[in-house]
Structure 1
């Protein structure tokens, strides 16, 4: 099992989705950006490192949203989703082919990686509780 983290990056009431490179695993699907947790890292440290490496942005990891366990056939991942707060930087796509900012209720219109759906559900539940 591979431990992976995903950042639900909020900025001005919208959330960032990134599109996986066409030739990558799950190519062309949309996801909350993030990556693998390395040994000796906390999930929060891994998320901040991955977002800097993949998108060239500085973030602060906030509230935990949800876990998602998914078997992709060739690998099983445990995805931990967190709200991430944008601190600095402009997005540079090092590991993705596109990115969009969306209101939470528009995220479901995109074809997401299967493991991301429980995180979307947790985000929508959080949003519903804050209205």
Structure 2
């Protein structure tokens, strides 16, 4: 018998600053506690993914952002729920980062991302980010 699991649409922002990317570690008490992620959260009813991402980054990090290009979608079954994660480049506009719902943060280079244990749904976004950056460097050629 198939059980209908809740399916959550979640957005994640890849914030870049001077060649480094912002990642945050989930609270130990949270689902996927202790793992790293690109911050974001659930898309609410009547919200576009871009609106949700900008709201979530304001709530989680106290910063204002604008949503840039879409990187990847990732669908992952966590057992109790299915998460459809939409990853976007995010551009920091204003504010100082405050960790309102994470325990640690880091600014890391693209190659350093491999040194962190991410939530499973974030890995396709990392792959897409590598591909996007390679494509960008090829077009600058």
**TM-score, structure 1 length as denominator?**
0.98
**1:34 and 2:40 aligned:** yes
2:80 matched residue in structure 1: 74
1:55 matched residue in structure 2: 61
Equivalents in 1 of 2:115, 2:12: separation in Å? 19
**1:126 and 2:104 aligned:** no
Unaligned runs of 5+ in 2: 1-6
SS in structure 1 of the partner of residue 45 of structure 2: coil
Q: How many residues align?
A: 131
In the TM superposition, what is the alpha-carbon distance from 1:39 to its structure 2 partner? 0.1
2:20 matched residue in structure 1: 14
Bigger CA radius of gyration: 2
In the TM superposition, what is the alpha-carbon distance from 1:105 to its structure 2 partner? 1.5
**1:4 and 2:10 aligned:** yes
Identify the match of residue 107 of structure 2 among 89, 92, 101: 101
Unaligned runs of 5+ in 1: none
1:25 matched residue in structure 2: 31
Identify the match of residue 87 of structure 1 among 84, 88, 93: 93
TM-align CA RMSD:
0.6
Equivalents in 2 of 1:45, 1:55: separation in Å? 15
**1:46 and 2:52 aligned:** yes
